[in-house]
Chains A and B, each alone.
Chain A
């Protein structure tokens, strides 16, 4: 950089001519453009690609959603928001939202928790590390449809493996396809089978970046494994946890493959027990109705739902991360801390008179144990 900002060297020592007006050379101007413009150019391929493959379909879907639009027949009349009102009046749409949230909750929550614990285990000094680490990722490599076929054998109502095992130990069969909750659990199992290992590796990577000094310090303080995990590991990988929660929320609200392959018809069950919103979208657009207009309306509403949930998620997790220090303390400690701050703001005389003030406490402590005031600063547990 320094090379570019210097002007031409003086032509001779003896000359005292006034300096010629600074001429901004083309190469210099190019250099400035380079600095200002090129970062944007460098990242532009992504945005160009995004505009073509992300933004354009998004907007085009909005355009389709306000028309009568058949999959094959194409564009029809402009109908305004009719597609939206039609979809909102369908019981099936609300059922699909219920299913989506139910499956999302019983898949994502255990999944993230399990992934953290698995990662914590894998982060330990174990034999054949790479083997185990690759092992947890294996289900992720299996195609979802293959997963569906395997689990189809496990979760068959009449002659399925799981029911056979349940019967063998004297338990009644579970109607994996007839009971709504059982169907959700079965699908959530498939989802977890696929994604837990993936999230585990992300957590594992984050855990390996935690400085070992923190653990050494914790060990010196006498913290056990469990205490280390909750007081060092979890707070240190907080940003990764937020990342995983947000990505699995987005993914969880778009579950499609698993419910689609859960039975042979692939439409979400005869009474829509496990029809998720994406599956509903597919059925409306590509099923016998072939109504792309309504399907686009569903897509947009799902998009808005995901944005809303994403924002909610973001707000909650941001709150957690900003108040984390206080949160880590017990409520009692927090109150004591606030009290102390309030007293410190009091005039000195009043403070001396107040028996509960920090100064008074310190004085009293010093008198009893002989330690210095610095050691008595409120201890943080995180």
Chain B
């Protein structure tokens, strides 16, 4: 028996071993063969077939029809579009591949303003997109955001922006006996000279008249809006070094104000932004107003299904403000950087971004697009036919400050907002003790 079973057993084992080694070999080679083998040379021959990959997230409004319009004009180009579900997913993918020397990055990467500091920190890994023919295409502050820190290179072509207005619940305003039409609300909050003090004052009035409805959605939302109006919140623009948080009185005052208004005065709904509770507060009349960048209208609509009192007031405390917006960057490791640059320039042209606005509601960052009939006449029926096109064009024009965001902006910002959430949402300690925690968290970063 033994001699008859032996050979088969051995061959089976040998097979298993071979299979194991083969699997190993496959896994190893798979890591190295991410190139598709496009051998068209860069630049030189502009008619050689080229495959361009573009990676975006959420919904940029780049439909297949829009992309097809480019390939019709350029028959040699094939476009592959990959879409990540969220900005965070896209960021993780982006940083990981960047860490691996750029292998696997798309030829064109969409980058959220939140992670633009990474691009600026490692500007050599990206193609300089400067092009004199594109001067004046974007709002000035958008171009500043997309440039290298010394302003010598343009690293990203702007797609959309997030100019902020105040979204509010018309029905709750009415119930509290306040003016409820958009112009009346804008006037109530101070019109063109609206300040945060005025906003909080009206809030106290509202809260005293409403039945347990808070004034704004979350402490973080208001903090985010207010910190976006400071030129150099956490770092020095000249050299990118971090300011010592313990002695940063601007931020400490801001923290104290927001904490006092949110918790002590009870103006904020006690929810962490984007949490399940926050989502549900939309359905439960949790709050009456919120700082509302253009893209937020989509989130509000999703969260407030069935609630139809929303409207938008063409006003923002403390001057204009911007929250969010994205860029298209071209990693230098790509095989077809020139072709990618051409395509990115085409995609961010006013016509295409106007089309993207119609597709997804992302507000264009291009001066010409904002002035176009299509954008200015746009209304949003969920917000009781608010003229969103006009409102956000005005709001974008009101933006005067572009906060400097260096490599440590988000570390420091989350140290402060964590302390804010600990105080406002979780009711821990005092304002002073939470500020000390923020300073401690800052010191733990070891960047001072």
Whether A and B are associated in the same complex: the answer reads yes
Contact residues of A with B, CB < 8 Å?
Answer: 1, 3, 38, 41-42, 44-46, 48-49, 52, 71-74, 86, 90-92, 152-153, 156-160, 175, 177-178, 263-267, 270-271, 286-290
Docked pose: A72 CA to B427 CA in angstroms: 37
Q: Does B247 contact A (CB under 8 A)?
A: no
Cβ-defined partner of A159 (8 Å) among B2, B17, B274, B276: B276
**Residue numbers in A under 8 Å from B421 (CB-CB):** 270
- 10 further A-B pairs in the complex, CB-CB below 8 A; given A38-B10, A52-B24: A3-B3, A44-B17, A49-B20, A157-B425, A158-B281, A177-B425, A270-B422, A288-B408, A289-B411, A289-B445
Docked pose: A88 CA to B247 CA in angstroms: 26
Q: Which of B91-99, B199-207, B371-379 contacts A (4 or more CB under 8 A)?
A: B91-99
Q: Is the CB of A91 within 8 A of B440?
A: yes
Most buried by A among B3, B99, B121, B408: B99
Docked pose: A52 CA to B26 CA in angstroms: 13
The 0/1 profile, CB within 8 Å of A marked 1, for residues 414-446 of chain B is 100111111001111000000001001100111
Known: A46-B20, A48-B24. A271 touches B426 (CB 8 A): yes
Cβ-defined partner of B284 (8 Å) among A49, A71, A159, A289: A159
Nearest CB in chain B: distance from A57 CB, A: 13
* List of 6 A-B pairs having minimum Cβ-Cβ separation, nearest first: A45-B20, A178-B426, A270-B418, A288-B411, A158-B277, A159-B280
Q: Does B69 contact A (CB under 8 A)?
A: no
Q: Is the CB of B24 within 8 A of A86?
A: no
The 0/1 profile, CB within 8 Å of A marked 1, for residues 267-286 of chain B is 00011111111101100101
Q: Does B134 contact A (CB under 8 A)?
A: no
**Residue numbers in A under 8 Å from B30 (CB-CB):** none
**Residue numbers in B under 8 Å from A38 (CB-CB):** 10, 13
Q: Is the CB of A72 within 8 A of B422?
A: no
Nearest CB in chain B: distance from A47 CB, A: 10
Cβ-defined partner of B444 (8 Å) among A92, A267, A286: A92
Q: Is the CB of A288 within 8 A of B426?
A: no
Q: Is the CB of A42 within 8 A of B17?
A: yes
Q: Does B83 contact A (CB under 8 A)?
A: no
Q: Does B122 contact A (CB under 8 A)?
A: yes
Q: Is the CB of B444 within 8 A of A90?
A: yes
Q: Is the CB of A45 within 8 A of B277?
A: no
Docked pose: A289 CA to B414 CA in angstroms: 11
Q: Is the interface of B mostly helix, strand, loop or mixed?
A: helix
29 A-B contacts, Cβ less than 8 Å apart? A38-B10, A41-B17, A42-B17, A44-B17, A46-B20, A48-B20, A72-B95, A72-B98, A72-B118, A72-B121, A73-B122, A74-B99, A91-B440, A92-B441, A153-B276, A156-B275, A157-B425, A158-B271, A177-B272, A177-B425, A178-B426, A178-B427, A178-B428, A265-B414, A267-B414, A271-B418, A271-B422, A271-B437, A288-B411
Q: Is the CB of B419 within 8 A of A72?
A: no
**Residue numbers in B under 8 Å from A156 (CB-CB):** 275-277, 280
Cβ-defined partner of A71 (8 Å) among B16, B99, B410: B99
Closest to A157 in B: B277
Q: Does B21 contact A (CB under 8 A)?
A: yes
Docked pose: A266 CA to B437 CA in angstroms: 19
Nearest CB in chain A: distance from B18 CB, A: 9
Q: For the complex, count residues of B whose C-beta is within 8 A of A.
A: 52
Q: Is the CB of A159 within 8 A of B95?
A: no
Docked pose: A156 CA to B427 CA in angstroms: 16
Contact residues of B with A, CB < 8 Å?
Answer: 2-3, 10, 13, 16-17, 20-21, 24, 28, 88, 92, 95, 98-99, 118, 121-122, 125, 270-278, 280-281, 284, 286, 408, 410-411, 414, 417-422, 425-428, 437, 440-441, 444-446
Q: Is the CB of B95 within 8 A of A290?
A: yes
How many residue pairs between the two chains, A and B, have CB atoms under 8 Å in the bound complex? 105
Q: Is the CB of A42 within 8 A of B13?
A: yes
Nearest CB in chain A: distance from B91 CB, A: 9
**Residue numbers in B under 8 Å from A263 (CB-CB):** 272, 275
Nearest CB in chain A: distance from B21 CB, A: 6
Most buried by B among A1, A158, A160: A158
**Residue numbers in B under 8 Å from A288 (CB-CB):** 408, 410-411, 414
Nearest CB in chain B: distance from A182 CB, A: 11
**Residue numbers in B under 8 Å from A175 (CB-CB):** 426
Docked pose: A225 CA to B428 CA in angstroms: 51
**Residue numbers in B under 8 Å from A271 (CB-CB):** 418, 422, 426, 428, 437
Q: Is the CB of A286 within 8 A of B95?
A: yes
**Residue numbers in A under 8 Å from B28 (CB-CB):** 52
**Residue numbers in B under 8 Å from A74 (CB-CB):** 99
Nearest CB in chain B: distance from A273 CB, A: 8
**Residue numbers in B under 8 Å from A52 (CB-CB):** 24, 28
Q: Is the CB of B24 within 8 A of A49?
A: yes
Nearest CB in chain B: distance from A293 CB, A: 11
Closest to B277 in A: A158
**Residue numbers in B under 8 Å from A265 (CB-CB):** 272, 414
Docked pose: A290 CA to B445 CA in angstroms: 11
Closest to B22 in A: A45
Nearest CB in chain A: distance from B229 CB, A: 22
**Residue numbers in A under 8 Å from B121 (CB-CB):** 72
**Residue numbers in B under 8 Å from A270 (CB-CB):** 272, 417-422, 425-426
Q: Is the CB of A160 within 8 A of B276?
A: yes
Q: Is the CB of B118 within 8 A of A264?
A: no
Docked pose: A52 CA to B27 CA in angstroms: 11
Q: Is the CB of B21 within 8 A of A72?
A: no
Closest to B270 in A: A158
**Residue numbers in A under 8 Å from B270 (CB-CB):** 158
Q: Is the CB of A42 within 8 A of B16?
A: yes
Docked pose: A175 CA to B125 CA in angstroms: 46
Q: Is the CB of A178 within 8 A of B418?
A: no
**Residue numbers in A under 8 Å from B280 (CB-CB):** 156, 158-159
**Residue numbers in A under 8 Å from B445 (CB-CB):** 289
Docked pose: A128 CA to B122 CA in angstroms: 61
Closest to A179 in B: B426
Most buried by A among B276, B284, B410: B276
Most buried by A among B122, B440, B441: B441
Q: Is the CB of A45 within 8 A of B95?
A: no
Docked pose: A140 CA to B341 CA in angstroms: 46
**Residue numbers in B under 8 Å from A92 (CB-CB):** 441, 444
Docked pose: A111 CA to B273 CA in angstroms: 33
Docked pose: A157 CA to B20 CA in angstroms: 49
Nearest CB in chain B: distance from A353 CB, A: 63
**Residue numbers in B under 8 Å from A86 (CB-CB):** 446
Nearest CB in chain A: distance from B333 CB, A: 12
**Residue numbers in A under 8 Å from B425 (CB-CB):** 157, 177-178, 270
Most buried by B among A74, A86, A90, A264: A264
